[in-house]
Amino acid sequence: MRVEADLFSGRPNPAWTLDEAESATFARLFAGLVRTAAPPWLEDGLGYRGLRVTGTDGGIGECEEVRVLRGHVAARCTDGERSYLDTERALERWLVGSARGRVDAQVLQMLRAEVEV
């Protein structure tokens, strides 16, 4: 699976690839989220706009893209848009943790600052 930090405007966003074990962990964490009827959030100004996870082949279960931001998760799936709650931003923090060693120190610091409550 591939994770992209939606962060920049001009430059390409930083992105990294999860290994097999990490992908399995992500899938497990995602499967454990509580689904909600609330519409997906639409926050997308300049600066940090969340993390976007895509499957490198065949998607993530029934979903082709999962976006995680500040306790909310929006997934684009075969049955349409789904919303989930990311309690205590556990999934977002885990994804930021997976960036360690894969993005430069400055970007990692920014991402860490974003998920600190």
Partner 1 sequence: MVRVTIDIFSGRPNPSFVLDEREAQEILRQLSAAPEAVVSAERSLGILGYRGLVLELDSEAAARHDHLPRELRIGGGVAGAESRGLEIAQRLVERMGTPTPAVEGFSGPLASYEGLDLRRLVREGMDALSSLAATFNAAPTGNAAPTGDVATATDDVSVSTLSTGDATVMAGATVLGTDASSWTTYTVGTCQYEGSAFNPNFWNAQRTVMRNNNCYNYASNRRTDTFAQPGRATGAQATIMACTNVGNGATSDGALAVPTCADATQSPRHYMALVIWPGTDYHWYRKHSDGFWGHKPGQTAARNYDNSNNIIYDPQTANRGGYTDFCGYYFGPASMQIR
Minimal distance, residue 1 CB to partner 1, in Å: 7
Given 37, 58, 79, 80, the residue binding partner 1 (CB under 8 A):
58
Using the rule CB under 8 A, is 1 a contact of partner 1? Answer: yes
CA angle 84, 89, 94 (to 5 degrees): 105
- Which residues contact residue 83 at a Cβ distance below 8 angstroms, ignoring those fewer than 6 apart? 35, 36, 37, 38, 39, 40, 72, 73, 74, 75
Interacting residue with partner 1 among 46, 78, 79, 117 (CB under 8 A): 46
- d(CA 31, CA 114) in angstroms, rounded, equals 24
- Nearest distance in Å: CB 91, partner 1: 19
**Residue ranges in contact with partner 1 by CB under 8 A:** 1-2, 4, 6-20, 23, 44-47, 49, 55-58, 102-104, 106-107, 110
